[in-house]
Structure 1
Amino acid sequence: MSAVDPWLARLSHALPHHALSRLVHRLARIESPRVQPLLRAFVRRFGLDMSEAAEPDIAAYPSFNALFTRALRDGVRPLEGDPATVVSPADARVSASGRIEAGRIFQAKGHDYSVEELLGGENDLAVPFRDGHFVTLYLSPRHYHRLHMPLDGTLTHAIHVPGRLFSVAPRIVRHVPRIYARNERVVALFDTRFGPMATALIGAQNVGSIETVWAGEITPPAAREASCVTWPERDIALERGAEMGRFNLGSSVVLLLPPGPLELEPALTPETEVQVRSALGRYTGRD
């Protein structure tokens, strides 16, 4: 940990989070030949593996946002395990994982937050996760930024919670209490064969927007209060590994899983790199 990290965290409180993110939202969508040198520099700087992309030619991407949301070519991320296997929703780095203890989720040393506040105060939706499991994943600029289903599921609720847009880089997460419950976020809840599952898509500094496949772009439109939409009448069912949304620029995902005999992968420790559709764990004793 750098000695300057606490100072960066304090500085982040004073930044105009939403104004900066709206600016980035516009800049990332500028389509111009003049963007190409910047895209090539970005690919070199962060080590993007364009051989994995459905379109490997950088010149085919008209804007930063198009590059960030690039599709992968077929076969690059095979789906691991069987229907009882929970797979990663993203290419990412593990921030934390484990049991939800009496309704509280571990963030970093000295910091935790409640499931209820993560879900925008929806206590009835939070109760089933009280003694469940969680995995927090951080997407860095070099990662693939589309998000995929960890289990087969049917959408039941979608929650948009307005909030701050602190950076979710690990060096900041260690010093900003309850950061995932304070940042703007979109939470999707699904019914699965093992019980309810929630994917909390966390907004962050410079994240242009968050999209889902069922509602399109949800942020950045401004809101002052949390909103919860019930979706059962739409019967939106997504298969394990299917695309469910995307970040237009990077952020984090907090995955909430129901109680039960879930065995997380032993290698699922902080700083571990995982790939989308790779196994995070498996519910044992199930077909």
Structure 2
Amino acid sequence: MKKFLALAMALAMTASLAACGGSGSGSAASAAGSSTSGSAAQGVASGVEDGVLTVAMECGYAPYNWSQPDDSNGAVPIKDSNEYANGYDVMMAQKLCDANGWQLEIVRLDWDSLIPAVQSGTVDAVIAGQSMTADRAQQVDFAGPYLYASIICLTKADSAFASAKGLSDLSGGSATSQLGTIWYDTCLPQIEGAQIQTAAESAPAMLMALETGAVDFVCTDMPTAQGALVAYPDFKLLDFSGSDNNFEVSDEDVNIGISVMKGNTVLKDALNSVLSTMTADDFNDLMAQAVAVQPIGG
């Protein structure tokens, strides 16, 4: 699959990745756009010449993506597996494929392997809930956004922090989030007096830390929280939007995009030709569909 792409791309930077990843200055969208200048002359292949869009994701980050044992609710087979992938990312990937006349192939990879895979040409794209940060835009080009994800906190409904009205009300509480994310690196430090614990290796591990009482609250994005409330009805969502006592984040932190190889303007433009026709309400409606069919514990 797409083996003709230059092997040297595999040696590109593998700096920290994140579902809503590390912060950076400037506009990620602008950085991604400017990086493609003159790329056509370099002969970067689109990767979909064979009519197949190969997409990488964790298949374990509900409601963005998860694995399940059958093809119910439009799930797609996971390559080299007897399982199927579903979730918002799969639904969006299928929509993009249908619009462009491609077949969809899903590859399951660990989080830290996602961007290296698209850099090396092992996969054509990463659709996995990645924020469009300037740091990432130095490694890949972005199509999108394909979702806008605000930052919130989750706590237990019976927690002493359940009535919090702003970040200052969380002072003194213990907290964690997913490793390598802006949730952990940028947002949690904004809570003065928070006792920040070791980062969780994954979103499910982060949620389990809250469920088991290892921490008082976690920081994540709205879609992840909405999915978590399905699996953990004893959680309470803390949304400080509209308050002066809220997280300070930039557009690049909450704009979720699709990673493609640097210079792959053909694929990027094909994806954007579909995404540009969709509104934030369209994205939210599709996410609601994903949450509705998410397996309990997914």
Query: What TM-score, normalized by structure 2, do the two folds share?
Result: 0.29
Could you say which structure has the higher helix fraction?
2
Could you say which structure has the higher strand fraction?
1
